[in-house]
């Protein structure tokens, strides 16, 4: 056996342990993130909200990334990635306690604060874990490693609506009718209080699990990586006076903003989309899982093809074209077929984050942590684009609004996969 083969085997063994730990973290924040779809349906019933108010759930959750990603990068420089990930888990535990407590008190604004705190913990986790997994091996195969993490993430996302549905949303098919048929306002309020209380203990259990995981990460053998040393292609990263010397990063931030907005529309908004088509609540509460299953299939296909048969940037372009086609399919059809096209967007979306993130941070060197934080800020697209959908669909056909928001997102992603990721690289 050659020394090269031995070195490759040792390298794989060295990265296996850290990848398992990071995979567990991706599973956890996938589970928490993709609860937002069924949560939007839950609060709409529990607090008798319109769609605009219900869509404050993803707003509160995703806007925290925009507010706290840069502070998270500062924290990580002081704590290191390992302690920073543990701190993120502890912050998520605090947010879970707040959310469960305020929901139990029927205080919607307080519950949104709890979601914001959960998002704050996740922003710290994302700012650390995404560049960590990207630079754990060669940057050219980063999409493959991130795809493995995506399988953990979206596997949890597919599971989350079913767990939440069994614990919280069971028997909601005629809940609205029961509330309307209540003999007195006090009786209706008692029904709503009882329904809202269903979420309390699941979130307390989640908080306890997050604390245990945080302690596990602290005591684990997860090695510290230095992004500056692992991600510097040329002297350009050392000579650059600021991040403005890397236009491919800034174009990547916008790309990630639009991608996350499209991903949340396909995952979290699909339940509201199905209700607008007249489909029953008992069915729509599981629609997020359909998108997650499509994403899982997309990750498996990506793992098989990247980078052996197709580069991560070329696959990104192909995925964007599929996004446009599935969006048009959703607009031109109705009922379950239209919902099927929205769920199929999960397949198109699957390999976008794994491709965009490493392409955008490539060659940043000592600016890798800060560039990663800027990219994580782009996750705020998950707050803005669904909220635009909720507002605009009050004034126009919701399928037209959906297509008008989604198609431009995918067209820009297509540009980034074909050209945007290369802008400025000649300066090296």
Q: Predicted confidence band at 356 (pLDDT cuts at 50, 70, 90)?
A: very high
What residues contact 386, with CB distance under 8 A and at least 6 apart? Answer: 55, 58, 59, 261, 264, 265, 268, 269
Confidence (pLDDT) at 320: 97
Burial 64-83 (b: 16+ CB within 10 A, else e): bbbebbbebbebbeeeebbb
| pTM score, whole prediction | 0.82
d(CA 71, CA 78): 11
Q: Which has the closest alpha carbon to 47: 101, 115, 113, 106? A: 106
Confidence (pLDDT) at 321: 97
Confidence (pLDDT) at 3: 39
Q: Which residue has the higher pLDDT, 97 or 36?
A: 97
Region 321-331 average pLDDT:
98
What is the percent of the chain where pLDDT is above 70? 89
Confidence (pLDDT) at 227: 53
Cβ atoms of 215 and 228 within 8 Å: the answer is no
Region 386-399 average pLDDT:
94
Least confident segment among 13-27, 104-118, 244-258, 355-369: 13-27
Residues 3-57 have pLDDT tens digits of 333 334 445 555 677 888 888 888 988 899 888 888 998 998 889 899 999 999 9
Mean pLDDT of the chain: 85
Residue 277 pLDDT exceeds 80: yes
Region 96-113 average pLDDT:
95
Q: Predicted confidence band at 239 (pLDDT cuts at 50, 70, 90)?
A: low
Residue 252 pLDDT exceeds 90: yes
d(CA 291, CA 287): 7
Residue 22 structural domain: 3-427
Q: How many domains does the chain have?
A: 1
Confidence (pLDDT) at 409: 97
Domain at 368, CATH number: 1.20.1250.20
Cβ atoms of 60 and 119 within 8 Å: the answer is yes
Confidence (pLDDT) at 366: 78
Three-state SS sequence of the chain: CCHHHHHHHHHHHHHHHHHHHHHHHHHHHHHHHCCHHHHHHHHHHHCCCCHHHHCHHHHHHHHHHHHHHHHHHHHHHHHHHHHHHHHHHHHHHHHHHHHHHHHHCCCHHHHHHHHHHHHHHHHHHHHHHHHHHHHCCCHHHHHHHHHHHHHHHHHHHHHHHHHHHHHCCCCCCCHHHHHHCCCCHHHHHHHHHHHHHCCHHHHHHHHHHHHHHHHHHHHCCCCCCCHHHHCCCCCHHHHCCCHHHCHHHHHHHHHHHHHHHHHHHHHCCHHHHHHHCCCCHHHHCCHHHHHHHHHHHHHHHHHHHCCCCCCHHHHHHHHHHHHHHHHHHHHHCCHHHHHHHHHHHHHHHCCHHHHHHHHHHCCCHHHHHHHHHHHHHHHHHHHHHHHHHHHHCCCCCHHHHHHHHHHHHHHHHHHHHHCHHHCCHHHC
Structure tokens at 337: 């077929």
Cβ atoms of 292 and 154 within 8 Å: the answer is yes
d(CA 151, CA 145): 10
């Amino acid at each position: 056996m050659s020394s090269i083969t031995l070195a490759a085997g040792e390298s794989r063994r060295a990265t296996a342990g850290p990848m398992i730990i990071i995979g567990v973290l991706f599973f956890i924040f996938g589970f928490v993130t993709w609860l937002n779809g069924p949560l939007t349906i839950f609060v709409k019933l529990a607090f008798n909200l319109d769609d605009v108010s219900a869509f404050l759930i993803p707003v509160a959750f995703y806007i925290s990334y925009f507010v706290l990603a840069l502070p998270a990068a500062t924290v990580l420089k002081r704590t290191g990635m390992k302690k920073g990930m543990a701190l993120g888990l502890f912050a998520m535990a605090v947010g879970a306690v707040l959310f469960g407590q305020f929901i139990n008190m029927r205080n919607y604004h307080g519950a949104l604060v709890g979601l914001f705190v959960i998002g704050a913990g996740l922003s710290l986790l994302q700012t650390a874990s995404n560049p960590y997994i990207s630079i754990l091996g060669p940057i050219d195969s980063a999409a493959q490693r991130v795809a493995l993490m995506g399988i953990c993430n979206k596997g949890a996302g597919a599971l989350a609506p079913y767990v939440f549905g069994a614990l919280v949303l069971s028997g909601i098919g005629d809940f609205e009718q029961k509330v309307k048929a209540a003999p007195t306002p006090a009786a209706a309020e008692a029904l709503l209080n009882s329904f809202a209380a269903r979420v309390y203990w699941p979130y307390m259990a989640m908080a306890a699990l997050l604390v245990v995981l945080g302690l596990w990460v602290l005591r684990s053998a997860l090695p510290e990586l230095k992004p500056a040393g692992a991600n510097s292609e040329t002297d350009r990263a050392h000579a650059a006076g600021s991040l403005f010397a890397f236009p491919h990063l800034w174009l990547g931030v916008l790309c990630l903003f639009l991608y996350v907005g499209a991903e949340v529309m396909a995952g979290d908004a699909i339940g509201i989309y199905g209700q607008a088509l007249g489909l029953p609540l008992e069915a729509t509460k599981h629609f997020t899982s359909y998108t997650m299953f499509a994403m899982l299939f997309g990750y498996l296909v990506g793992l098989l093809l990247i980078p052996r048969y197709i580069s991560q940037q070329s696959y990104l372009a192909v995925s964007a074209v599929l996004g446009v086609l599935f969006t048009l399919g959703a607009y031109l059809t109705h009922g379950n077929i239209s919902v099927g096209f929205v769920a199929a967007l999960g397949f198109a979306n699957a390999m976008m984050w794994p491709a965009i993130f490493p392409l955008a941070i490539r060659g940043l060197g000592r600016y890798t942590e800060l560039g990663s934080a800027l990219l994580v800020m782009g996750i705020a697209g998950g707050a803005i684009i669904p909220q635009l959908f909720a507002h605009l669909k009050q004034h126009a056909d919701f399928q037209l609004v959906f297509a008008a928001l989604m198609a431009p997102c995918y067209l820009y992603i297509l540009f980034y996969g074909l050209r945007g990721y290369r802008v400025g690289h000649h300066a090296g």
